[in-house]
Structure 1
Amino acid sequence: MSRRTRDGHKGSGPGAISPDGCAVDLYSRLVAGAEPDVVAAALPAHATLLELGSGAGRLTRPLAERGLVVTAVDESAEMLARVRERVPGIRTVQSPIETLDLEERFDAVLLASFLVHTGDRRVRDGLLAACRRHIGEDGCVLIQREGLDWHTRVPREREDPSGCTVRIVSAEPVGDGVNSVVCEYVFPDARWTQTFLSRPLTKEAFEGCLSAAGLAVDAYLTDDGTWVRARPERR
């Protein structure tokens, strides 16, 4: 069953669907891969971390287990309820990311799940502005980018350690440099789909977006360039 969400975003399958088309029950089943190790290795021990777009806590729990002090932010109350189930006692904040202002600073901010590729430029700029206003001059932002051929190598599929088959079914242009992406997640007992808008960004375009938000690349953390650490730009 499909449910109405943001323009260009929708999801289908059992259970609640968040405004960006993510199925709460699906994201509660997904497990983390190497991402927590990449994030933890880029930060000091016991750093305070603001996780933007935590979803159901796929990364939240392993990051907390690695000693990071995590505050989880998501606009979905259902997603945050799952986070609190996974990590009892964790601080959660329900809010759209682009309007978030906690009036405090963290050692680091995490923007994972390719959120920087949102199709709406204003939302993307708002996401990066939220990252910048929540770190001090010695803080950093960790960002997950799409791979170089993410939109062109379709259709494709992989077996996820969560026990499902993940398929990128299509990535079709819808204008203004944006693609409509359709994903499918198939478990033995359930199937979900998600459709969302994504804007491919070259390395130069990505770094330009960071600069507009007062950030600059400090390091590309993985060989494929999909994980980036940025710091406040020195002007």
Structure 2
Amino acid sequence: MRAGHQGTGPGAITPDGCAVELYARLPAGPEPDIIASAVPAGASVLELGSGVGRMTHPLLARGYRVTAVDESPEMLERVRGARTVLSPIEDLDLGETFDAVLLASFLVHTGDTRVRRGLLRTCLRHVAPDGCVLIQREGEDYHTKVPRERVDPSGFTVRIVASDPVGDGLRSVRAEYEFPDATWTQTFRARPLTEEQFEEALAEAGLTVDRYLTDDRTWVRAVPLRGEP
């Protein structure tokens, strides 16, 4: 496991504490519709951190051409119908560009600043000059409205049990997912970013906000800065 990351529950657990069987059960939610609102139909999409294909499969069903990237072979084994690439995101260099690059699941809030820079450089490296990068951010109250829980209509409960400071601006977050037949937990480290800090991180990588896609400003459409490749 990575430092500060762990997971419990049935099945394989990835180095960042994600349970493969859990993510295979989670619904896609509104994310595919949000993506479709910002990316033209039929576009090529590079999905960074695809996991088991929770968003990959709905995007394929909408006619997008998806390349799914993940560092977990157990996750990628669950992906169907897309080209798959086994690689850490920050090391990826496919030598090609895409109409849209997707960085979801709050990956931009990774606790390691060097990794975050690598993630965003990968986004820039793979986005077409007239393409876009879609990024999912934490909400404003992600670390303050704790503990909290949500009962999903499909029949499971997700809880954010704790978000504790551990120094250097990092938080240790513990989440629980309770299903009728199984329970999983995940503990991970996150670095909160104000909107200003987030936009500064984008600029450092050669990206800029085109627009925020949701009222809570958690989904962002970014584009290459003028003059960037």
TM-score, normalisation: structure 2: 0.98
Q: How far apart are the structure 2 equivalents of 1:161 and 1:137?
A: 40
Instruction: Please state how far the C-alpha of 1:115 moved relative to its aligned partner.
Output: 0.4
Instruction: Please state how far the C-alpha of 1:164 moved relative to its aligned partner.
Output: 1.0
Contact 2:171 2:189 (8 Å CA) reproduced = yes
1:164 aligned onto 2:156? yes
Aligned residues: 227
Which residues in structure 2 correspond to 1:62-211 (within 5 Å)?
Answer: 62-83=58-79, 87=80, 89-211=81-203
Out of 10, 15, 21, the position equivalent to 2:11 is: 15
Contact 2:90 2:122 (8 Å CA) reproduced = yes
Q: How far apart are the structure 2 equivalents of 1:162 and 1:56?
A: 18
How high is the sequence identity, in percent, across the aligned residues? 70
Residue in 2 aligned with 1:61?
Answer: 57
4+ long deviations beyond 4 Å: none
Contact 1:128 1:213 (8 Å CA) reproduced = yes
Q: How far apart are the structure 2 equivalents of 1:102 and 1:82?
A: 22
Letter in 1 for 2:34: V
Instruction: Please state how far the C-alpha of 1:168 moved relative to its aligned partner.
Output: 0.1
Contact 2:4 2:187 (8 Å CA) reproduced = yes
Q: How far apart are the structure 2 equivalents of 1:170 and 1:150?
A: 10
Give the root-mean-square deviation of aligned CA atoms.
0.8
Unaligned stretches of 5+ residues in structure 2: none
Q: How far apart are the structure 2 equivalents of 1:176 and 1:136?
A: 35
Q: How far apart are the structure 1 equivalents of 2:153 and 2:101?
A: 26
Instruction: Please state how far the C-alpha of 1:139 moved relative to its aligned partner.
Output: 1.1
Letter in 2 for 1:198: A
Q: How far apart are the structure 2 equivalents of 1:18 and 1:162?
A: 25
Instruction: Please state how far the C-alpha of 1:170 moved relative to its aligned partner.
Output: 0.1
Letter in 2 for 1:21: G
Unaligned stretches of 5+ residues in structure 1: none
